[in-house]
Amino acid sequence: MTALQLTNVCKSFGEFEVLKDINLTVENGEFVVFVGPSGCGKSTLLRVIAGLEDATKGTVAIGDEVVNIVPPAKRGIAMVFQSYALYPHLSVRDNMTLGLKQEKQPAAVIDERVNKAVQMLDLSAYVDRRPSDLSGGQRQRVAIGRAIVRDPKLFLFDEPLSNLDAALRMNTRIEIAELHRKLSASMIYVTHDQTEAMTLADKIVVLRDGRIEQVGSPMELYNNPANQFVAGFLGSPAMNFFKKGPVEVPENGTLGVRPEHLRIVKNGRIKGTVAHVEWLGGDTNLLVNSDQGEPFTVRVFGQDATRVGADIALDFDDSAAFIFDHAAMRVRT
Ligand code: ATP
């Protein structure tokens, strides 16, 4: 059985079409990440699945049931928001039990589920505190706990880590991945952060302007992007694009080479001047202006000694180069 099936889903706000003919299947137990630039429609798509917005056209099926006219509370979903959306006047435990009480679950079931979630999320020390007395990371764990206790068919996460600092974001990301393994639950996760998408997803859905650009596992999309947009969106630093390429490209086409595939050599097909150096400790990013006037990035393992102003030559294996045609579709590697 599939967890979710979207068929020809469209969504317009007045004249403005935000989602255009979305078709997607989420299998049971899958962790699916919607990723794309700001305004591409990720949150709207999640809200259509949750029932917080109605699809203008198409069907939304959760499990075997078409839910287009089913209200959010009856869809068997639980949603976790960036803003946590906790009740400030209730304790952690009460925030987690409230939904179950409203569902009129028996007290024993409530206790069992809440205790299990508290343990799983390492929240035992905080159950009597109010949200204002917790850190951002702890608040987000409570919000996740509140979703877990509902035992939903489908978890929906809307940018849940955006309010956390970088270190906490990474820890919480790992916790969410562990939670997914423990619960074997179906999860959909919205983010604009390609690192979160790459590290969490079984399946990434890349959206642009309300359309799906490509669906696949992180490595499928990284190694075989269908087009220049996907190639440029996944990977950090981003793929370099050369119009005046050192290899032949179709008319008005583009050559793409990832920063980690460029090597500094004595005589290379690309020549340029180093404009900026970023030493990250483990590796170094060189920002270079090519002799053809095109800026690009080179990622060097370790602490590179190249300085700003240096003239360098670079090359790459042709097997690691991507060729895009005039319409930005990938024609070959
Ligand atoms: P972000 O990462 O910035 O949150 P997003 O990909 O989640 O972006 P959405 O929030 O889904 O994007 O918005 C997609 C588009 O739909 C945007 O152009 C937005 O302005 C528009 N939009 C969203 N909600 C409404 C609404 N209620 N009325 C009109 N337009 C809306």
pLDDT at 333 over 70: no
Distance 77 CA to ligand 1 centre (A): 21
Please report which confidence band the pLDDT of residue 136 belongs to, taking 50, 70 and 90 as the band edges: confident
Which pLDDT value is given to residue 28?
95
Torsion of CA 47, 48, 54, 55, to 10 degrees: 150
Tokens of 225: 């992007």
Please report which confidence band the pLDDT of residue 246 belongs to, taking 50, 70 and 90 as the band edges: confident
Q: CA-CA distance, 199 to 6, in Å (whole number)?
A: 24
Q: Is residue 199 within 8 Å of residue 236, measured between CB atoms? A: no
Q: CA-CA distance, 77 to 193, in Å (whole number)?
A: 24
Which pLDDT value is given to residue 298?
98
- Please tell me what DSSP assigns to residue 269: S
Q: In a mutational test of the pocket of ligand 1, which residue from 18, 42, 207 has the highest number of ligand atoms less than 8 Å from its CB?
A: 18
Which is nearest to 18 in space by CA: 52, 42, 49?
Answer: 42
Q: Indicate where the chain has its CATH 2.40.50.140 domain(s).
A: 238-332
**Cα→Cα distances 96→2, 63, 120, Å:** 28, 25, 13
Which pLDDT value is given to residue 122?
86
Q: E strands along 203-279, which residues? A: 203-208, 211-216, 240-242, 254-257, 263-265, 270-279
Indicate which atom in ligand 1 lies nearest the CA of residue 192.
Answer: 2
Residues 6+ apart with CB under 8 A from 255: 241, 242, 245, 246, 247, 249, 321, 322, 323, 324
Indicate which atom in ligand 1 lies nearest the CA of residue 207.
Answer: 6
Span 150-181, pLDDT tens digits: 889 999 999 988 877 887 888 888 888 998 99
Which pLDDT value is given to residue 59?
98
Instruction: Kindly state the average pLDDT of the residues 92-112.
Output: 92
State pTM to two decimals: 0.91
Token pair 């899958």: residue: 30
- Please tell me what DSSP assigns to residue 238: P
Nearest CA residue ID for atom 17, ligand 1: 39
Nearest CA residue ID for atom 2, ligand 1: 38
Backbone angles phi, psi at 35, to 5 degrees: -135, 150
Q: What fold, for 238-332?
A: OB fold (Dihydrolipoamide Acetyltransferase, E2P) (2.40.50)
Span 196-226, pLDDT tens digits: 999 999 999 999 999 999 999 999 999 999 9
Query: Which residue has better confidence, 23 or 64?
Result: 23
Residues 6+ apart with CB under 8 A from 28: 1, 2, 3, 186
Give helix then strand counts, H and E, for the chain: 8, 19
Distance 60 CA to ligand 1 centre (A): 19
Q: Is residue 186 within 8 Å of residue 203, measured between CB atoms? A: no
Ligand 1 pocket (Cβ < 6 Å) reads: 13, 16, 18, 36, 38-44, 192
Nearest CA residue ID for atom 3, ligand 1: 38
Span 57-84, pLDDT tens digits: 999 999 989 999 999 989 999 998 888 8
Which pLDDT value is given to residue 308?
97
Mean pLDDT, all residues of the chain: 93
β-partners of residue 242 are 255
Identity at 161, one-letter amino acid code: L
Span 303-320, pLDDT tens digits: 999 999 999 999 999 999
Nearest CA residue ID for atom 9, ligand 1: 41
Distance 41 CA to ligand 1 centre (A): 6
Q: Which helix (H) or strand (E) holds 43?
A: helix 42-50
Identity at 45, one-letter amino acid code: L
Distance 241 CA to ligand 1 centre (A): 29
Q: CA-CA distance, 51 to 11, in Å (whole number)?
A: 12
Which pLDDT value is given to residue 307?
95
pLDDT at 89 over 80: yes
Query: Which residue has better confidence, 24 or 247?
Result: 24
Tokens of 75: 């869809």
Q: Indicate where the chain has its CATH 3.40.50.300 domain(s).
A: 2-230
Q: Which CATH superfamily is domain 2-230 in?
A: P-loop containing nucleotide triphosphate hydrolases (3.40.50.300)
Distance 205 CA to ligand 1 centre (A): 17
Which is nearest to 234 in space by CA: 280, 196, 285?
Answer: 196
β-partners of residue 8 are none
β-partners of residue 256 are 241, 322
Residues 6+ apart with CB under 8 A from 73: none
Please report which confidence band the pLDDT of residue 279 belongs to, taking 50, 70 and 90 as the band edges: very high
**Cα→Cα distances 14→11, 56, 257, Å:** 9, 10, 41
Torsion of CA 67, 189, 143, 82, to 10 degrees: -110
- For residue 116, the tally of other CB atoms under 10 A from its CB is 13
Considering only CA atoms, give the Rg of the chain: 23
